Amino acid sequence: MTLSAEIITNPSNRLTYMEPIKGDAHGKNLLSMYQLSDKDIYDYIKEAKAAETILRDPSRRGVTLLPHYVLKAVMRQPSTRTGGSMTTAMEKLGGSAQLISGMGSSSEAKGESLADSWAAFATQADILGIRTAEDEGPAFAAQAIATAAERGSLLNLVPVINLGDGRNEHPTQALGDMFTIYKKFGSFEGLTATVVGDQERYRAHHSFMIGAVALGMSIRAVESPAALVPPALVEQLGDSLTRTDDLDEAMRAADVLYLGRNPDEYAGDDSQEKLRSKQLARDYASWIVDYDRIQQMSPDSIVLHPRPRRDELHPSVDTDPRMKDVEQMANMIPMRMAIIARHLGKSIAKSL
């Protein structure tokens, strides 16, 4: 985590392509949850609620808000949910969408620079969703596109939506998570979320924690000494963050239990990294949430997981009423409709 609220809000900083949303998302990139205030998050939720109303109406199933608009979702890392739900969301808004997976068929294979590839994609789309293995890859793309636009070579400035950048952030996931929490509790203030897993490298955790704290929630982070909450995030979350190694106590305190898989694709292969991987594997084995373990949680609490899951969320919990992970996945469509619409300057709520 190298991003911070200070980087984003400091006007003298060159990273102006990461400006605060401040009530107006039109034309802006969505790269980090640090760009959003609590009010901004509520604005996305309001639009997602309107999108859901339309999707549930069998006579509509979508809305023609963005005819002739084009989305490209460029996924440079594997994805089952995020890329596909972005394209579905765009099509439900009446636009067209293309999912590009991996870079094998792009001109990078012919030696094109990444910056040039991003500028090329920007000439073909009205909005870009980008996933990269590198931290801040979408921010790099936004900068490359802004530089190309300064030369007057683009029709318009194409907003970049971060669909997961390495070990850094996953803001669209976090907004869908917040929508899921809102649908259950109707508000956020005073709720406690227990977040379990590799706190250092799991991007969904980072964005979730930033969003939850902006909305007045408290976080209990269950940590392994091998993968601690990054120091910059600890500083940003301040008193809203409690760090613990006691999963069971933290589950009993939770209104929301937020799990994630071991992101072991980022593990290095030197001897220190191998030791860390072993420690993490042991920790994940001790954190398995199964039917018996979930019983200690409040009957009013909920369990979220951005998926894909491995052993950390045992299938014996699947029919427990606290499980909201499938609903969470479904909520990503209206939320991503809300994100696309807002960043293209449209309102779904106004078309109700």
Binding site for ligand MLT (CB under 6 A): 82, 164, 170, 173, 203-204, 260-261, 306, 308
Give the number of C-alpha atoms closer than 13 A to the C-alpha of residue 21, restricted to the C-beta side: 26
| CA 253/CA 284 separation, integer angstroms | 20
What is the smallest separation between the CB atom of 325 and ligand MLT, expressed in angstroms?
A: 12
Q: What is the CA radius of gyration of the chain?
A: 20
Determine the 3-state secondary structure of 348 from DSSP. coil
What is the smallest separation between the CB atom of 110 and ligand MLT, expressed in angstroms?
A: 28
What is the smallest separation between the CB atom of 126 and ligand MLT, expressed in angstroms?
A: 24
| CA 74/CA 99 separation, integer angstroms | 6
| CA 83/CA 99 separation, integer angstroms | 7
Pick 76 or 261: Cβ nearer ligand MLT: 261
Pick 132 or 301: Cβ nearer ligand MLT: 132
Pick 204 or 256: Cβ nearer ligand MLT: 204
Pick 204 or 323: Cβ nearer ligand MLT: 204
| Concatenated DSSP letters of 88-118 | HHHHHTT-EEEEEESSTTSGGGGT--HHHHH
B/e letters for 232-253, b = 16+ CB within 10 Å, e = fewer, are: bbeebbeeebeeeeebeebbeb
Pick 204 or 297: Cβ nearer ligand MLT: 204
What is the smallest separation between the CB atom of 66 and ligand MLT, expressed in angstroms?
A: 25
What is the smallest separation between the CB atom of 147 and ligand MLT, expressed in angstroms?
A: 27
What is the smallest separation between the CB atom of 83 and ligand MLT, expressed in angstroms?
A: 10
Pick 95 or 260: Cβ nearer ligand MLT: 260
| CA 351/CA 162 separation, integer angstroms | 26
Pick 201 or 346: Cβ nearer ligand MLT: 201
Of 332, 342, 334, 335, nearest to 66 (Cα)?
Answer: 342
Residue 344: other Cβ atoms inside 10 A? 21
What region does 156 belong to: left with phi over 0, alpha with psi -120 to 50, or beta? Answer: beta
Backbone angles phi, psi at 23, to 5 degrees: 85, -10
What is the smallest separation between the CB atom of 81 and ligand MLT, expressed in angstroms?
A: 6
